[in-house]
Structures are given as structure tokens and as C-alpha cells.
Amino acid sequence: MRAILIDDEISNLENLRTLLEKHCPKVTIMATAQSVSAAVDAIEKYLPDLVFLDIQMGEQTGFDVLKLLPRRNFEVIFVTAYDQYGIQAVKFAALDYLLKPIDIEELINAVNKAEYKLATQIQTSQLDFLLQQLKKTDTHVSTIAIQMQSETRYVTLSEIIRCEADNTYTYFFLANSEKILVSKSLKEYADLLRPNGFLRTHQSHLVNPKYVKSWLKEDGGILLLTSGEKIPVSKPNKETVKQALQRQ
């Protein structure tokens, strides 16, 4: 894989180079860049397969690099020291990211995932989706990217009825009766979707309150959905679910 490393700090570039040379022999480093303009030039010159992109670069951001490129046909692994800025948008776009200081195992995993995507030639528009999300002035998110085995689906939050855990996998149940399986845990989606009002009713269930029809008192607490499905509410979650539904 032909790679370009982008970071405004030289020591970070050196550190990443050392880790890649030692642990990811399939990655060939074509160039490194320390500014947005140098990054754009390097990408247009070398047409890399993979770009390691620092998010915060002085006054500018790694997202600016993407905005300036007419074609974005490469895989990106974001690298960031901050757990906050832009990371939420990256998660909603189901893109890969590493937190500094870089953990070797996480690095190897991310590189393997990129290699798989390149090998299977999955064409995704996740970067376009990410830039659109970042453009929105309000923080309200209405769509989420779901990375499936061979495609990326964009689902609006209002069409998600509920999610159900199957170990480290999650099933999405959509309003058009579709059922999608994703290889991420329900916990990850709960963390992403809770700020958007989704209710964690049970260790295995996440529900969109929009589709709640009523609260049944049987078995200590059950939600009846407009789809007719009954979803259990476990005891630890009872109070929060009740309060959230009353606020609606």
C-alpha cells in the first residue's frame, strides 16, 4: 500500500514512520507533509492508496486537506490527539481513526481494515459524507453511515426503529422492515445515538422514542412499538426511560 503521512509535528511523523516500518511491512511511505498545502501537493503527486491524516494542524485541519482535493479515491485513517474535535463526525461516517499516542495493535487493525477495503475495491462515499456533516452549522445529526461487509449504507436516524445486540454485532431494524447486521457492538451505537434521543432500554436494546407507542406494565416494564414489537425495559434503565418518554 502506498501511503502518505500528514501531521504538522515532525516528531509525530517520525514516530508513525517508525511504527509503520516495524509493524506494517505492507505499507510503503511515499511522502510526508506538515501543512495542508504540502499535503494536497503530495497526494496529487503520488496518488496514494492510504493517507494518515492528523485532524488538528495548527490553525487548519486535516478536513481542509480533503476539501481541497477534487478526487478522494484513497483510504483515510485519521490520527488525532483530541477525543473531541470532529471525532463525532468521523464516527458517524464510520471512518477509522487512531488516538495519539498510537497503540500498536490499533494501528495494525486499522491498516488491515484499509487493506481489506482496497483489496475488495469497496467504493464508498464516506469522505464526502463526512465533509457534508462537518459543513452543517448545527450539531444536529440526521444520518449515520453503517459499514456493512460489502457496502456502506446511509441511514437517516428517523428511519431506525430500533437496534438489537447480538454479542459484538448489532442488528438495525428499519421502518421499511429491513434488518441490517453490522459488526460493531450495540454499546458503540448507544454512545453515538443517545445524544440524539435514542433510549437504551436494556443491555440488548436501543430504541428510537419516535416509534414507541406505549408503556406496558407487564413483567416490570415493556415498550410497545408502533411496529407491534415488544421491547423489554430492564430495571436499571427504568427510571431514565420513563423520564425520557415523559419529556416527549
Partner 1 sequence: MNKNEIDNANKYLSKFARLTRNVLDEKELISLSQEKTLLDDYLQMEQLRFGFKYEINHSEDLDLENIEIPSMLLQPFVENAVKHGISKKATDGKINITFIKKANDLALTVTDNGNGFDTEKKNNGLGLLLSESRVALLNSIYKENRFTLAIQSATNGTKVSLTLSDWL
Q: Quote the cell numbers at residue 201.
A: 432500554
Q: Which is nearer to partner 1, 2 or 184 (CB)?
A: 184
Q: Which is nearer to partner 1, 64 or 106 (CB)?
A: 106
Min CB(117)–partner 1 separation in Å: 24
CA gyration radius, the chain = 21
Min CB(132)–partner 1 separation in Å: 27
Min CB(201)–partner 1 separation in Å: 12
List of residues contacting partner 1 (CB under 8 A): 18-19, 83, 99-104, 106, 165, 167-168, 185-187, 191, 200, 203-204, 234-236, 238-239
Torsion of CA 218, 248, 209, 129, to 10 degrees: -170
Min CB(143)–partner 1 separation in Å: 24
Q: Which is nearer to partner 1, 103 or 151 (CB)?
A: 103
Give the whole-angstrom CA distance, residue 98 versus residue 106. 7
Q: Which is nearer to partner 1, 117 or 200 (CB)?
A: 200
Min CB(125)–partner 1 separation in Å: 29
Q: Which is nearer to partner 1, 46 or 215 (CB)?
A: 215
Q: Which is nearer to partner 1, 36 or 193 (CB)?
A: 193
Min CB(137)–partner 1 separation in Å: 24
